[in-house]
Structures are given as C-alpha cells and as structure tokens.
C-alpha cells in the first residue's frame, strides 16, 4: 500500500537527484474552477534555486505560491491542511448525530 508522507517525498527526491533530475514537492489547493483559471495555490517544498528555475512555469498555473522550505515541507503542510479538514468534517458529523439523538429539529 502507498502512504504519502514527507519522508516518502524526500526518498523520491533522492532517487530523482541520483538520476540527475530536479525534484520539486508541489501539492496544490484549489477547486477545479481555480485550476481552469490558473489560480491554484501551490505548497512548495524545494531548494530556492530550483524554485526560481521553474517559477515561470509554476506561475502559469497558480495565483499563490507558498514556499515552505526544502523538499518534503510542501507535502507536510498539505497533509496538515488535510488533517484539519478531516477533523472539521468528523466534528460536523458528530454534532449532527448528537442533534438527532437529542431529538433536535434539524430543519430550522
């Protein structure tokens, strides 16, 4: 089974560098409409010089570029965002279930 983690991303970067390639960690956020307009938010983990080298390409698909540090930090930040979103969804579900158990009117 595949598990995305900052560590896994770092191992991919190591393998890429061994082959003479550059690896940029670049998760995105944004809805499909933002993608269609080239307005995604990019969460970058990369060496500064690598980011500068591809900045024009990244700017063509994004409205916001956030550079968090070396490879792995973009993924770490994205996973943190995903965790917070999952917690909010779970809390909402628990609240609705509790309201139902208490007999509250959910239609008002």
Decide: helix, strand or coil at residue 4.
coil
Q: Where are the beta strands (DSSP E) in 1-108?
A: 28-29, 40-45, 62-69
Catalytic residue set: 78
Can you say whether the dihedral through the CA atoms of 2, 4, 9, 10 is positive or negative? negative
What separation, in Å, do the N-terminal and C-terminal C-alpha atoms of the chain show? 44
- Measured distance CA(81)–CA(87) in Å, rounded: 10
Take residue 43 and report the two structure tokens written for it.
């969460």
């Amino acid at each position: 089974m595949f598990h995305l983690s900052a560590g896994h991303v770092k191992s991919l970067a190591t393998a890429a560098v061994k082959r003479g390639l550059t690896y940029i960690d670049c998760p995105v956020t944004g809805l499909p409409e933002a993608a269609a307009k080239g307005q995604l938010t990019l969460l970058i983990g990369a060496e500064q010089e690598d980011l500068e080298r591809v900045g024009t390409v990244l700017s063509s698909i994004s409205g916001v570029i956030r550079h968090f540090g070396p490879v792995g930090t973009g993924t770490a930040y994205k996973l943190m965002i995903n965790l917070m979103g999952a917690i909010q969804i779970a809390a909402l579900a628990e609240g609705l279930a509790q309201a139902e158990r208490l007999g509250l009117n959910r239609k008002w």
